[in-house]
Amino acid sequence: MGKGRAPCCDKDKVKRGPWSPQEDLRLITFIQRHGHENWRALPKQAGLLRCGKSCRLRWINYLRPDVKRGNFSKEEEETIIRLHETLGNKWSKIASHLAGRTDNEIKNVWNTHLKKRLAPKNGKIPQNDESKEICMVSSSCSSITIVSSPCGKRNLPSHNSGPFEEPKEFPSSSISSSNSNITNSSQVNVPNLENHGDSLLNFIGVYDWKNNTSEEVNKPEILDTAFDILLESDSDFWDMLDSLGTFQRDKIQSNEVEGNQSPDFGEEYSKENENNKWLQYLEIELGLEVTKNENHNNLSNTAAEPLVPEMYDMLLKP
């Protein structure tokens, strides 16, 4: 073979640029149902006009349920700086030390904030950053400050302990953007809604929730909706989150009682059920839910109905 390498896909036949919510949903749906053993084949199987690499990137950097969004805390920034001293631009290695952070995100933070910040200080990590300075430096200070310390990690109200506790440091193998433990083979572990609640907030944390104009967006509109809820009523929002934390167990149990599933079927059914719930939630938040009750609060009160594949086809067809 020559030096040049065949392109991974025909650029004329694949869509490029920002992902639409529909594409996001399609990708999430497919990966949750079938996993992603083969990224190259995935777009075709999922009906996406995207390059496999693009799908992989989108999943790893954005759609993965365990991806942590929002401002980098001071601790995280210091960790990055420290690791960068020893590892250099090994972003994926650095990412493996930061729970839920992706190499791309870290790279961006380094290039946009940390590098500049350190340059005038000759490589010294500032010990007493004023919050003001951090805010200037932190990209998304404007996005969510509801309960956070200045530009730091997103902190949640204390009454929400449990499901929404700040994520603990995971073993690196399970967090690295490139080694996500929900990646390989068969079906992806369904993100339970406790995690998803966290994930959702992380989504919210980083994005500009005021922007909801364009049809094609970089960010799922889930963010806007969630923020609308938040702005409408804080307590309602937190109640909803509370309910998210508990609904899963309750619903699985109630389904087991109500339904005719045999005990053998239980575990698989529960997974399927969680899966459907998560997807249903996404549908609602993405505004793709057309036939069911749109009341968000009902999420925690209604039994999960299996998603109807035809509905996806109808909704997602160009």
Partner DNA sequence: AAAGACATCAACCGCACTAGA
Partner DNA sequence: TTCTAGTGCGGTTGATGTCTT
For binding to DNA (CB under 7 A), which residues are involved?
A: 1, 4-8, 11, 15-19, 36-41, 50-54, 56-58, 61-62, 89-93, 103-105, 107-109, 111-113, 116, 137, 139-140, 142, 176-179, 183, 206-208, 210-211, 213-214, 218-219
Q: CB of residue 4 vs DNA: minimum separation in angstroms?
A: 6
| Nearest CB to DNA, comparing residues 128 and 213 | 213
| Nearest CB to DNA, comparing residues 107 and 271 | 107
Q: CB of residue 167 vs DNA: minimum separation in angstroms?
A: 18
| Nearest CB to DNA, comparing residues 119 and 257 | 119
| Nearest CB to DNA, comparing residues 139 and 155 | 139
Q: CB of residue 96 vs DNA: minimum separation in angstroms?
A: 8
| Nearest CB to DNA, comparing residues 146 and 244 | 146
Contacts of 185 (CB under 8 A, 6+ apart): 35, 37
Q: CB of residue 253 vs DNA: minimum separation in angstroms?
A: 36
How many angstroms separate the Cα of 105 from the Cα of each of 6, 38, 54, 205? 28, 24, 16, 14
| Nearest CB to DNA, comparing residues 50 and 196 | 50
Q: CB of residue 299 vs DNA: minimum separation in angstroms?
A: 26
Q: CB of residue 261 vs DNA: minimum separation in angstroms?
A: 34
